Amino acid sequence: MRKLILFGDSNTYGYDPRGFATGRYPAEARWATIVSEALSESYQVIEDGMNGRQLPDVQYGYFTNMLSELSEEDTVVMMLGTNDILLTYMPDAKKAAAKMERILGYVRDNFKGRFIMIAPPYIEADDEDMMRYRDASIEMNRMFLELAGTYNVEAIDAAAWNIPMAYDGVHFTMDGQKRFGECFISAFNMLGKELK
């Protein structure tokens, strides 16, 4: 069966910022599992989320190895970039966009399957210290979508979905996980129709 890889960070992992139990939402509440159940007749869905994951280096490593093992029937959905903004004192959307451009160039030249880039939801901010992260995430999202157009890559703007965020402004609430899964399934099916 063809594979659908959901490659992302803590929101794809299903991280629960409330810190209960394992620090992860129950499987049935995670967006990746919701997608897996909805598309199980058409795809083997592989949930590949990892806390703290940043945009990968295309010179070597897990990401490029993963792509090399997939066939032209397989699909990779990547939602990353938030940690590239968040895990630094001075967030720089241009640096994240430069990494994304290298990824999209690599995908164009080396991957025969289907690749979908998700521009992640904006970081929410309630105070002045966090505003620079929100501003950078908005700029990064815009630049990602422009790059997708330049490289003719399918793209989804998840910022348009108004996903409910937890108190930290970064992680989805449980309701946010559900909404994200539902919105993704709708967008994925719509993209599929456009390809036909």
Report the alpha-carbon angle 56-16-171, nearest 5. Answer: 55
> Given 3.40.50.1110, 3.40.50.1970, 2.30.30.100, 3.40.1280.10, which CATH number is that of 3-195?
3.40.50.1110
Strand partners, 24: 15
User: Cβ contacts of residue 16 below 8 Å, gap of 6+?
Assistant: 22, 23, 24, 25, 171, 174
Q: What is the model's pLDDT at position 196?
A: 47
Tokens of 52: 């703290």
- Regions of the chain short of the pLDDT cut 70: 20-22, 193-196
Residue-wise pLDDT for 119-137, tens only, equals 999 999 888 888 999 999 9
Nearest residue to 120 (alpha-carbon basis) of 168, 55, 60, 167: 55
Rounded Cα gap, residues 147 and 141, in angstroms = 10
Domain assignments of the chain as residue spans, ordered by start: 3-195
- E strand residue ranges, 14-170: 44-49, 75-79, 114-119, 154-157
Q: What is the model's pLDDT at position 21?
A: 59
Q: How far is CA 112 from the centre of its chain?
A: 20
Rounded Cα gap, residues 29 and 13, in angstroms = 11
Three-state secondary-structure class, residue 57: coil
Q: What is the model's pLDDT at position 127?
A: 82
Rounded Cα gap, residues 134 and 137, in angstroms = 5
